[in-house]
Structure 1
Amino acid sequence: MKLPRKIAYAAIALTGLVALAACGDNGAATATATVPTTTATIGAVPVAPSTETTPEVIGDAPSSAPVTPPVVAKTQRRVKIYSGPSDVPLSPTPDTGQGSNIVQLNSTASAQIGAFVADGQGRTLYRFDKDTAQPSKSNCNGDCAKTWPPLLIKSPGAIYPSGVDPQLVGYVERADGTCQVTINGWPVYHFAKDKARGDILGQGVGGTWFAISPAGGKTKAAPQAISAPTAAGY
């Protein structure tokens, strides 16, 4: 049988991911999955199963219960919000002003103000009474955002809450196009004067700034709360 002179080629349709303008998303993310390859050996000599028995262990054996990996609890566009903390160490992409691709939220106990939420570095997160939660909106921009830097998430991204209901976690787009993490609708911020892990120097500032609770509420005022606004007026 003779082969035809012309061979027909099948066209492969490529589906491109649409780049999102919000959250500093300048292009589609590419995830590469590593698939283990099994190589069959032809002519291998079969090995007889071992007749040795496993020795009996006497006494208490160390617990080897597997750690349940977190699962995606919800998705907001291209940001995945998980059911709990990651089961492996995380190395967030450095924040270049548009946010990090990985954000951790940790419920933290305090004898002074009660439970509040901190980020993965232990920095306290605050809410602002002049913002709104329904609908989510930040009213802290310009100089205010320099004193109270917003916690930003960059798309595509992932948020890992620990001790915080993932269904309460999300983000809101800010006036500059970046996306700010929210808890129960409230945008969350750092305080520029907090330097050490666990600092709560922003608690009660101006009577409008409070460390945010895991449910998104205000925590109680600390004894050393600053009643007057900061130098910037916020």
Structure 2
Amino acid sequence: MTRTFIAAIAATTVLGAAVSAQTLGAVNSEIGKVIVSAKTGMTLYTFRKDAKNTSNCYNDCAQAWPPFTAAASAEAKGALGIIGRKDGTRQWTLNGQPLYFWAGDAKRGDVTGDGVGGVWDAVRN
């Protein structure tokens, strides 16, 4: 699997919107190019049961699907947003969709969570 991280630029176009290259990257995977955390290279997912700018994944769900959390100093920009979670943490969103990792992914660019339960989707570029 070839990694193609977005690093040396201030912003890039992902899903048609400018986002911070320090937050997101892209990796070629077995299902095509997917969006990943620039820091970890791990694939990001969306949950079809979420509402726009609202996470519905807590407790056991959040154990299996850890939210992509934003630091207190992080700032939203363009399509890349931040929402508050019930537990007080902040979570990144892309176009209003909360972003998550999948505990079943073991290495950079894994996409084993894509399609799980018919409600989880890897974010494609």
Match of 2:109 among 198, 214, 229: 198
Provide structure 2 residue ranges, at least 5 long, that are not aligned to the other structure.
Answer: 1-7, 12-17
> In structure 2, what is the equivalent of residue 115 of structure 1?
33
Residues 141 and 113 from structure 1, CA distance in 2 versus in 1: closer, same or farther, beyond 3 angstroms? same
Larger radius of gyration: 1
Q: CA RMSD in A?
A: 2.2
> Are residue 70 (structure 1) and residue 10 (structure 2) matched?
yes
> In structure 2, what is the equivalent of residue 176 of structure 1?
87
> Are residue 143 (structure 1) and residue 60 (structure 2) matched?
yes
Q: Report the residue type matching 2:56 in the other structure.
A: N
Provide structure 1 residue ranges, at least 5 long, that are not aligned to the other structure.
Answer: 1-67, 72-81, 87-103, 160-165, 215-234
Equivalent runs, 1:32-181 vs 2, <5 Å = 70=10, 84-85=20-21, 104-110=23-29, 112-120=30-38, 121-133=40-52, 136-157=53-74, 166-181=77-92
> In structure 2, what is the equivalent of residue 209 of structure 1?
120
Structure number with the higher strand fraction is 2
- Runs (4+) of structure 1 exceeding 4 A deviation are none
What SS does structure 1 have at the residue aligned with 2:93? Answer: strand
Residues 192 and 83 from structure 1, CA distance in 2 versus in 1: closer, same or farther, beyond 3 angstroms? closer
Give the TM-score taking structure 1 as reference length: 0.43
Q: Report the residue type matching 2:67 in the other structure.
A: P
> In structure 1, what is the equivalent of residue 15 of structure 2?
none
Q: Which has the higher contact order (CA 8 A, sep 6+)?
A: 2
> 2 CA distance for matches of 1:144 and 1:83?
27
Deviation by residue 1:41-87 (Cα, 9 ceiling, x = unmatched): xxxxxxxxxxxxxxxxxxxxxxxxxxx8638xxxxxxxxxx86435x
Identical aligned residues as a percent: 39
Give the TM-score taking structure 2 as reference length: 0.78
> 1 CA distance for matches of 2:9 and 2:37?
20
How many residues align? The count is 111
